[in-house]
RNA sequence: GCGGGGGUCGCCCAGCCUGGUCAACGGCGCGAGGCUUAGGACCUCGUCCCUCAGGGGUUCGUGGGUUCGAAUCCCACCCCCCGCACCA
């Protein structure tokens, strides 16, 4: 960190510049960021998202608002604990992450076996780097989500949600790790990402007094069943399940019992024992032989399936394996199998009667072990589902589509009690701990009832009313609200707050972070030790957050003072609602929408959030950021490498709206150079300035700055930081360059005015440099407490703007001519249009505009010999806006503007330029070109 | 599959809502010149094709359409990215 940075940090700190308290009558802005999770230090992605709030905060402060930008740290949940645990178990990958990627000293890593130490280390480091980057955060309100006082706040929230009926209990299938004794989410899996429980139909085939229970996802194919498959090598069990006698694979018993089936095993035997026996199918009543199928996985559902060779490639190939002797079976079984022919049950356009045969041929599949069978199955199932129609062979299902037949077959089988259900994972899932997962039905789980239509409606209302930056994000919120179902809001493990009425459960991490912005109003008092966790009773929080109850008696009961309670209430009612919450777009489908839901549930409308800012995700040099791939830039690395100001500016210039931001070293280095050269540029410019009268060029610069202020202000208001910072750093800089090139002598007064505005405009982005520059320019006080420039102080002089625009166009045209015309040239004559040509043009243009007949005008100026279509063409080229301005400023003296710049033109074009006015008597016009001149379009003659 | 966002002149990207001032902003890269002992930085000009008077031609994923006029509006299609839940 540089000495200057240290100095200004100290000054801001001493002045308490970013520690706002309620000020009655002063308008406020309350901005928040979704706290970062502390299993790692903050990175450039965090910085990018947070920087929007930082720039916005500083901007709003300059606009005179009382701005609160607080910060906190998320410790709740599984990953911190998980990393600690893996470290304790000696996992080398975790250790390497800490040491090589996060640069944590060995000595510290040793202590990371304690999860809270791990989190506190990263918290400390993150806080430090954020401070050094100059983030204007009120650190007095900082907290962690496991702080005792915060826990009281979460408990309060959950009591209320339960009372309101938004927390409900339910039963639900989950992917379960028997070792961790916990649901295994996508991110916790070694294998099987994206796999979720599917509901299998269990179809009972009568086998004497038993039911041989086959599992299927395609019950509508029952009429095409030709046999039943069991794995001859696997163990099967006769068991009493829910009071019935079932035959299923032995391994399925434990899973059935996890799914609330009542299971009592009776006798275990090998699958081969079943071969050659017959089982009676439901609906069809057909007696089907039981055949050996090695492809049958005993650990998938019941380990029994029925065979539909006409429509299932696996079944077809398994059957042929036996028929064609590729699989050795007993003679009796072989004879049975030889008798079996596929039974088609549906028609599929573009396929033969036996579609399974078509696909098998097409993919050149040889036997039932062929790896292409999976793809064949997928393809055929999907085709049949969308285009298949059941035939007469399917009896009552005839004429139905597959989807319809599926439903009807299930209804029919349920009627005859030949149907049961079981959840199963369609693919293998392995937990990070290495244990194979299965489906468990969890009972009495706690859910947030997001499916509740009234709650949804209220959440939608928040989105309807809130400001949204960018606007496109709004639709994503609406879709999320529609799609959101009940959310399990409690877990068994990790850090966090216990459900106050059911201490076996911890409030899940996303669910404890929905209204915590309100807690920033309380944490200030907790950190100042004006109130402690023990004082934060339900009644106290009811009073502070909802205004309920009598503060005097509540204070007494809670062993605190009425004064403190009233201050807390004032704090809350002053800052709330949240004016702006900014985050990456990845949080829309969960956190941000939860945030809306919970505010809708707990607070009156006047405290509902008012604004959402959404930005894209960050990539590094065009690639997704990933620690394991080494494609990772920490906040600290970036800040150290480029310096605080340049890092901030680079963040601002990266992206706008929901576009993904690409972090490039090259661009950041560029920003660094800009930042470093700004001060020398200002110094040099001022040294070259003199005191003189204001001229047209000064008016032009002032007018231009007016437009820049308007544009930058609008962009800041909409959180378009790239546009704002580009206007401020690139456009204004270019304007100044143009001014300096044009001006023979830059005017000190003009420059001072522009620099004064400029330094304030750059300050949200590069606050350290802005303070330095302000100091350099002799500004008093702190720039972070100055006023945002007003366009009113930079009046627009339309004629000066016109003059500069015409000059630019003339130079461009002249360059074109000079480029194209070869040969000797000694000077360029520029003929500004005559007064009569001018009048002609204006009269024509306004007549056309008023849709009047132009004939009279043409006649009136006939002696000028200017073709009317030239006039229209020029009017068209000039464009509506500028034409309006020209018509409004007929006094604009084009000759004066251009002749005043003849020296400049000569220098720019590298050839002497002589500006003359057409129609004057002394004009030098050997080629008779002057008559062609029109307003803003002078004629040229190259000598 | 569902939902959202995109495809622009070598690269990154602005413009699209509110059609014409768009051969299309800005940055990078590249070329020329200036400045400099030199390099870097900085400044200027150029960077789709053609053009000896400010002009012309062909462009904004593909194919249609609306319009006097489309990168911008409508339709269809192709391609890319992101999210899809018991988890931060």
Task: Name the protein residue, with chain letter, whose CA is nearest the C1' of B1.
Answer: A382
pLDDT in the model for residue A270: 94
- How far apart CA A781 and CA A760 sit, in angstroms, is 12
- Provide the 10 A C-beta neighbour count for residue A430: 15
pLDDT in the model for residue A369: 84
Q: Which nucleotide is nearest to A184 (CA to C1')?
A: B86
Distance A545 CA to B45 C1' (A): 65
Residues A930, A834 contacting (CB under 8 angstroms): yes
Residues A175, A190 contacting (CB under 8 angstroms): no
- Distance from the Cα of residue A921 to its chain's centroid: 69
- How far apart CA A644 and CA A135 sit, in angstroms, is 10
- Provide the 10 A C-beta neighbour count for residue A563: 11
Q: Exposed (0-12), middle (13-18) or buried (19+): which is A781, by Cβ within 10 Å?
A: exposed
Q: Which nucleotide is nearest to A591 (CA to C1')?
A: B88
Which nucleotides of chain B are near protein (any atom < 7 Å from a CB)?
A: 3-6, 12-14, 20-21, 26-28, 41-46, 51-55, 81-88
| Largest interatomic CA distance in chain A | 124
Residues A33, A56 contacting (CB under 8 angstroms): no
Write the DSSP string, A538-575: HHHHHHHHH--S-HHHHHHHTTS-HHHHHHHHHHHHHH
Distance A687 CA to B4 C1' (A): 54
Q: Give every CB contact of residue A59 below 8 A, 6+ residues apart in sequence.
A: A716, A764, A788
Q: Which nucleotide is nearest to A816 (CA to C1')?
A: B54
Q: Which nucleotide is nearest to A40 (CA to C1')?
A: B88
Q: Which nucleotide is nearest to A35 (CA to C1')?
A: B88
Quick one: DSSP state of residue A747? Answer: B
Distance A936 CA to B56 C1' (A): 23
Write the DSSP string, A137-159: --GGG--BTT-HHHHHHHHHHHH
Cα-based distances in Å from A61 to A325, A576, A678, A784, A788: 84, 17, 24, 8, 8
Low-confidence residues of chain A, pLDDT below 70? Answer: none
Question: Three-class SS string for A807-834?
Answer: HHHHHHHHHHHHHHCCCCCCCEEEEECC
Q: Which nucleotide is nearest to A943 (CA to C1')?
A: B53
Q: Which nucleotide is nearest to A189 (CA to C1')?
A: B87
Of the candidates A786, A779, A764, the residue with the CA atom closest to the CA atom of residue A645: A764
Assigned token pair, A274: 């079943």
Task: Name the protein residue, with chain letter, whose CA is nearest the C1' of B86.
Answer: A488
Pairing of strands A467-469, A611-615: parallel
What is the residue whose two structure tokens read 């706040």?
A: A153
Q: Which nucleotide is nearest to A726 (CA to C1')?
A: B26
Of the candidates A405, A466, A510, A462, the residue with the CA atom closest to the CA atom of residue A187: A510
Distance A794 CA to B88 C1' (A): 48
Distance A533 CA to B25 C1' (A): 57
Pairing of strands A913-917, A828-832: parallel
Which contiguous run of DSSP H or E holds residue A668?
Answer: helix A665-687
Distance A908 CA to B45 C1' (A): 10
Quick one: DSSP state of residue A272? Answer: G
b/e per residue, A472-508, with b = 16+ CB within 10 A? ebbebbeebbeebebbbbbbeebbbbbbbeeeebbbb
Q: Where are the alpha helices (DSSP H) in A222-340?
A: 252-258, 313-323, 331-338
Interface predicted TM-score (ipTM) of this complex, two decimals:
0.92
Distance A479 CA to B75 C1' (A): 25
Distance A726 CA to B25 C1' (A): 11
pLDDT in the model for residue A311: 92
Distance A910 CA to B38 C1' (A): 28
pLDDT in the model for residue A561: 95
What phi, psi does A928 have (nearest 5°)? 55, 50
Q: Where are the alpha helices (DSSP H) in A299-441?
A: 313-323, 331-338, 355-362, 373-387, 402-415
- How far apart CA A330 and CA A244 sit, in angstroms, is 32
Distance A896 CA to B51 C1' (A): 33
């Amino acid at each position: 960190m540089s000495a200057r940075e240290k100095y200004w940090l100290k000054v801001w700190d001493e002045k308490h510049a970013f520690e706002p308290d309620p000020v009655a009558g002063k308008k406020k802005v309350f901005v928040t960021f979704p706290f970062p999770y502390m299993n790692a230090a903050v990175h450039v992605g965090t910085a990018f998202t947070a920087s929007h709030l930082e720039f916005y905060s500083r901007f709003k402060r300059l606009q005179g608002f009382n701005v609160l930008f607080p910060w906190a740290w998320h410790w709740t949940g599984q990953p911190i604990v998980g990393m600690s645990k893996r470290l304790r178990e000696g996992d080398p990958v975790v250790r390497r992450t800490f040491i090589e990627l996060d640069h944590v000293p060995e000595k510290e890593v040793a202590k990371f076996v304690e999860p809270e130490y791990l989190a506190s280390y990263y918290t400390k480091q993150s806080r430090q780097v954020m401070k050094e980057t100059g983030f204007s955060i009120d650190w007095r309100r900082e907290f962690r989500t496991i702080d005792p006082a915060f826990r009281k706040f979460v408990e309060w929230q959950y009591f209320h949600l339960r009372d309101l009926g938004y927390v409900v209990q339910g039963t639900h299938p989950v992917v379960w790790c028997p070792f961790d004794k916990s649901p295994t989410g996508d991110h916790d899996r070694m294998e099987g990402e994206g796999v979720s429980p599917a509901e299998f139909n269990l179809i009972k085939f009568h086998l004497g007094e038993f039911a041989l229970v086959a599992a299927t996802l395609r019950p509508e194919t029952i009429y095409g069943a030709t046999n039943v498959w069991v794995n001859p090598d696997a163990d099967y069990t006769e068991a009493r399940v829910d009071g019935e006698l079932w035959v299923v694979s032995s391994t399925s018993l434990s899973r059935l019992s996890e799914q609330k089936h009542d299971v009592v095993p009776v006798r275990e035997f090998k699958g081969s024992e079943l071969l050659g026996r017959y089982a009676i199918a439901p609906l069809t009543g057909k007696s089907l032989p039981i055949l050996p199928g090695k492809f049958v996985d005993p650990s998938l559902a019941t380990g029994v399936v029925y065979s539909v060779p006409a429509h299932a490639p696996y079944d077809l190939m398994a059957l042929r394996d036996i028929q064609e002797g590729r699989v050795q079976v007993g003679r009796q079984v072989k004879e049975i199998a030889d008798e079996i022919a596929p039974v088609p049950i549906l028609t599929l356009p573009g396929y033969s009667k036996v579609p399974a045969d078509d696909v098998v041929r097409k993919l050149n599949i040889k036997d039932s072990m062929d790896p292409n069978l999976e793809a064949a199955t997928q393809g055929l199932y999907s085709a049949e589902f969308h285009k298949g129609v059941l035939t007469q062979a399917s009896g009552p299902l005839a004429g139905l589509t597959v989807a319809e037949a599926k439903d009807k077959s299930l209804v029919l089988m349920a009627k005859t009690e030949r149907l049961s259900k079981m959840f199963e994972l369609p693919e293998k899932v392995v937990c990070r701990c290495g244990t194979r997962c299965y489906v468990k039905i969890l009972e009495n789980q706690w859910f947030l009832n997001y499916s509740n239509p009234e709650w949804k409606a209220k959440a939608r209302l928040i989105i309807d009313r809130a400001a949204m930056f960018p606007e496109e994000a709004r639709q994503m919120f609406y879709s999320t609200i529609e799609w959101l179902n009940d959310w399990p809001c409690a877990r068994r493990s990790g850090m966090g707050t216990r459900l106050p009425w059911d201490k076996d459960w911890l409030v899940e991490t996303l669910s404890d972070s929905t209204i915590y912005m309100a807690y920033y109003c309380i944490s200030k008092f907790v950190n100042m030790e004006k109130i402690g966790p023990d004082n934060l009773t339900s009644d106290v929080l009811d009073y502070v957050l909802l205004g309920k109850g009598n503060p005097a008696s509540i204070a007494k009961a809670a062993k605190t003072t009425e004064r403190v309670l009233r201050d807390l209430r004032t704090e809350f009612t002053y800052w709330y609602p949240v004016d702006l919450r900014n985050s990456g777009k990845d949080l829309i489908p969960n956190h941000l929408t939860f945030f809306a839901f919970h505010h809708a549930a707990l607070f009156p409308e006047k405290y509902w959030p008012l604004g959402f800012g959404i930005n894209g995700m960050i990539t590094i040099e065009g690639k997704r950021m990933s620690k394991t791939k080494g494609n990772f830039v920490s906040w600290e690395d970036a800040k150290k490498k480029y310096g605080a100001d340049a890092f901030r500016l680079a963040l601002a210039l990266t992206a706008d709206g929901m576009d993904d931001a690409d972090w490039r070293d090259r661009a950041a280095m560029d920003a660094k150079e800009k930042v470093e050269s700004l001060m020398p540029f200002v110094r040099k410019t001022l040294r070259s300035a003199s005191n003189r009268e204001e001229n047209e060029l000064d008016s032009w610069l002032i007018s231009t700055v007016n437009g820049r202020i308007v544009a930058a202000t609008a962009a800041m208001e909409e959180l378009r930081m790239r546009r704002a910072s580009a206007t401020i750093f690139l456009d204004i800089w270019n304007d100044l360059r143009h001014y300096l090139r044009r001006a023979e002598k830059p005017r000190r007064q003009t420059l001072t005015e522009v620099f004064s505005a400029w330094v304030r405009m750059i300050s949200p982005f590069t606050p350290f440099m802005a303070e330095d520059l302000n100091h350099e320019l002799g500004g008093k006080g702190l720039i972070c407490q100055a006023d945002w420039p007003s366009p009113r102080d930079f009046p627009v002089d339309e004629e000066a703007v016109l003059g500069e625009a015409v000059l630019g166009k003339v130079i461009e045209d002249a360059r074109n001519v000079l480029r194209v015309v070869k040969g000797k040239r000694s000077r360029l004559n520029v003929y500004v249009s005559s007064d009569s040509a001018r009048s002609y043009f204006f009269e024509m243009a306004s007549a056309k505009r008023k849709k009047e007949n132009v004939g009279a005008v043409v006649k009136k100026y006939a002696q000028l010999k200017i073709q009317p279509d030239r006039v229209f063409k020029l009017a068209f080229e000039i464009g509506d806006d500028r034409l309006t301005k020209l018509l409004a400023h007929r006094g604009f003296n084009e000759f004066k503007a251009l002749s005043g710049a003849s020296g400049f033109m000569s220098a720019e074009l590298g050839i002497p330029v002589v500006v003359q006015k057409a129609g004057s008597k002394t004009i030098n016009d050997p080629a008779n070109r002057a008559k062609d001149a029109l307003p803003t379009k002078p004629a040229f003659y190259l000598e």
